[in-house]
Amino acid sequence: MKIGHPEEQKLQAPPKLLAALHRLPREPIFVPLTVDEAVLNAARRQLGNRVERPFDWFRLMPWMAAVTVLVLLVFPAQFIIKAPSRQPSAAVFNREDLNHDGRVDILDAFALARQLKSGAHLNPQFDINGDGVIDEHDTEAIAAHAVSLAKGGRS
C-alpha cells in the first residue's frame, strides 16, 4: 500500500485494523460460465479472432519430413520420364500458393508461418481450412495439401 505525504500517513489504518480488514470474509461471487463466454466471445469477434501464440515450428516437422521424402522420390522419376514441362499460369494461382511460384509446397506453409509470426495483417484468403481463424492449423493444411499434390506430381 502506498504511503506518500505525511498527511496521508495520518490516514493510515493501524496494523491490527488492516489485518482485520483483510481477514473479512468475502462473499463468494459465483460467476456463471455463460458470463465468461459472452465476454470472451465478444472480444474474439471484435478483435478479429486472432489469438497470438508463438509459432511452434516443431508442429511442421512431420510434414517437412514427409514432403522431403516424397520430393526425393518423385522428382528423379520426372526427369527420367521427361514429362512435358507445365508452365505455371501467369495470373491464376492456387489459394494455397502463397508465394505465387506456381506450385503448392512446404515453402508456402513456411511463408504463412512467417506471416503469422510477424503479426502482420493477414489476408482472409489464407484461412485455408475455413475455420474462421488464421493460425498454425492453416499452415498444416497447406503442408497436407503439398503432400497430397506431391504424391500426384506438381500442382
Partner 1 sequence: MDAHATAKHDLERRSDLELIAAINRGEAAAFEELYFRYRDWVAGLAFRFTGHSDAAADVLQETFLYVLRKFPGFRLTANFKTFLYPAVRNLSIAARRKAERYQSSEAELERIEGAPAPEPSPGRGELEVVLARLPEEQREVLLLRFVDGLSLAEIAAAMDIPLGTVKSRLHNALETLRQDERTKEFFDH
Residues that bind partner 1 (CB under 8 A): 1-2, 4, 7-8, 10-11, 13-14, 16-18, 20-22, 24-27, 29-32, 35-36, 38-40, 42-44, 46-56, 119
- Cell representation of residue 86: 507445365
Degrees, nearest 5: CA angle 32-36-41: 140
User: Which of 53/86 has CB closer to partner 1?
Assistant: 53
Shortest Cβ 11–partner 1 spacing (Å): 5
User: Which of 59/154 has CB closer to partner 1?
Assistant: 59
Shortest Cβ 62–partner 1 spacing (Å): 16
Contact predicate 122/43, CB 8 Å = no
Shortest Cβ 49–partner 1 spacing (Å): 7
Amino acid at 127: D
Shortest Cβ 144–partner 1 spacing (Å): 19
What does the alpha-carbon distance between residue 110 and residue 143 come to, in Å, rounded to a whole number?
Answer: 9
Contact predicate 58/138, CB 8 Å = no
